[in-house]
Amino acid sequence: MRVLWFTNTPSLAAAHFNLPVIGGGWIQSLETAVTQSGQLELGIAFRFGEEKLQKINSQTTYYAMPTLRKGRLEGFLARHRGSLDTAEMLAYCMQVIDDFKPDLINVFGTEDAFGLIAGKVPVPVVIHIQGILTVYDRKWTSAGVSHRDVIRQAGWKELLKANSLYHFYKRFRNAAIREQQIYAGCRYFMGRTHWDKRISLVLSPGSVYFHCEESLRKSFYAREWSYADNKKKVLVSTIQSNIYKGLETVLEAAALLKKNNTFPFIWKIAGIGADDRLIQLFEKKTGLSFSEQHIELCGGVSEEKLIAMEMEADIFVHPSHIDNSPNSVCEAMLLGMPVIATGTGGTGSLLEDGKEGVLIQDGDPWAMAGAVTELIQNPEQAIAMGRLARTRAMSRHDQPAIVNRLLQIYKNILQLEKQDPLKRQEVVSDHE
């Protein structure tokens, strides 16, 4: 079976192109596991900042599709409008498909234009749901920050060059609109939470949904967290530089913990550095300083450093206002860490509140600070939750089981394509 993936990251092709690996480590893990099974001829296509389409023949066939560089005026106007390069990217996708000639196409995520190929090619397309921009768009200002705040915070140069957070939102909003077109045009979806299944039922009525878990980065399977009884308690979060990821809730929760002075602590945040524009935005909005609230902004960190940070920490905290199945939470659970997470989107499918971790509502610094205090004051409870979290995560992210499930989904889709349309629904019910 020849299967072509369209991904948002280069996966293992990063080594061939000397690219830094930023996010998407789980795609690398899945590629490794799938190729080791020997049951697929795999191709992977992704964006790459060169001027022409490039192909590398390896165990996997890699296609690096260029992100078109616009002229100065054209790029300026595109940024101001929040324009997307949908038509150009689809043209490259079709070139790749014509060259690889897949039996089935697997698109990872709906953030890019790739999913629009469904219905335009003679082979089935299945979309592996990651985030869902349509809902994220509704949550974009849930941090209590308005578009007016964002515009006021930006410097005049950022505004003139259309490089501000507001202009990023315009592109984000247009991508969310495009995402709804992707859902409407695609028949097959893979997901892993009650939330993403419900959304797909609405955005793509009559589509077929398959449950499939994700393979995580290999290093997190091999390590196991243990309680260290740190005199200065260490909290860890990994937060992307997106306004809806809950950074301001961490700042406000840390201020409450500092005010109560119940225990000394440091809160380490991976993924955001001190020079990130969200830092200035949230400090101005809250009147609080990250450094004064014992928050250490670590910026981008390697996989090895992140594991070291988490192994030395007391609690992992996930503060996002919206998420599907955040890999950061899943990886912390794999390590066996005590986890506090906001119960938004699909996180309720990852852990049970009070059993494998603590779920709190998003945007609530009081509940977050209270949950931290509760687990710090009850280390036996925290340790027990971490152990149960590890057990659940090891089962959920079992790599051989995930590969077997993925291959079975591919086979099921190809079978469904051969079915009489009037009889397809009888088969669909067996494939959740």
- State residue 97's pLDDT score: 98
- How many independent structural domains does the chain possess? 2
- The whole domain housing 6 covers 2-215+400-428
Distance CA 173, CA 179 (A): 10
One-letter amino acid for residue 364 of the chain: D
Geometric angle at alpha carbon 176, from 431 and 82, rounded to 5°: 150
Distance CA 58, CA 47 (A): 18
One-letter amino acid for residue 242 of the chain: N
pLDDT band at 226 (very low <50, low <70, confident <90, very high): very high
Q: Is the pLDDT of residue 430 over 60?
A: no
Whether residues 260 and 384 share a domain: the answer is: yes
pLDDT band at 22 (very low <50, low <70, confident <90, very high): low
Q: What is the mean pLDDT of residues 181-204?
A: 98
pLDDT in tens, 132-145: 999 999 999 888 88
Whether residues 409 and 328 share a domain: the answer is: no
Q: Is the pLDDT of residue 432 over 60?
A: no
Whether residues 187 and 247 share a domain: the answer is: no
Whether residues 8 and 95 share a domain: the answer is: yes
- State residue 427's pLDDT score: 47
Q: Are 10 and 19 in contact (CB under 8 A)?
A: yes
- State residue 158's pLDDT score: 84
Whether residues 97 and 31 share a domain: the answer is: yes
Whether residues 161 and 299 share a domain: the answer is: no
Q: What is the mean pLDDT of residues 368-382?
A: 98
- State residue 33's pLDDT score: 94
Q: Residue 222 burial by CB count (10 A; 0-12/13-18/19+): exposed, middle or buried? A: exposed
Whether residues 106 and 253 share a domain: the answer is: no
- State residue 23's pLDDT score: 58
pLDDT in tens, 298-351: 999 999 999 999 999 999 999 999 999 999 999 999 999 999 999 999 999 999
Distance CA 264, CA 114 (A): 48
Whether residues 210 and 273 share a domain: the answer is: no
Whether residues 225 and 164 share a domain: the answer is: no
Query: In what order do the strands lie in the sheet containing 315-318?
Result: 295-299, 265-270, 233-238, 315-318, 339-342, 358-360
Q: What is the pTM of this model?
A: 0.93
CATH code: domain of residue 129: 3.40.50.2000
Q: Are 348 and 359 in contact (CB under 8 A)?
A: yes
The mean pLDDT of the chain is 93
Whether residues 406 and 391 share a domain: the answer is: no
Distance CA 364, CA 252 (A): 9
Whether residues 404 and 379 share a domain: the answer is: no
Phi, psi at residue 408, to the nearest 5°? -65, -40
Q: Are 105 and 124 in contact (CB under 8 A)?
A: yes
Distance CA 175, CA 171 (A): 6
pLDDT in tens, 248-263: 999 999 999 999 999 9
pLDDT in tens, 113-167: 999 999 899 999 999 999 999 999 999 988 888 888 888 888 878 888 888 888 9
Whether residues 193 and 66 share a domain: the answer is: yes
Please provide the size of the chain in residues.
432
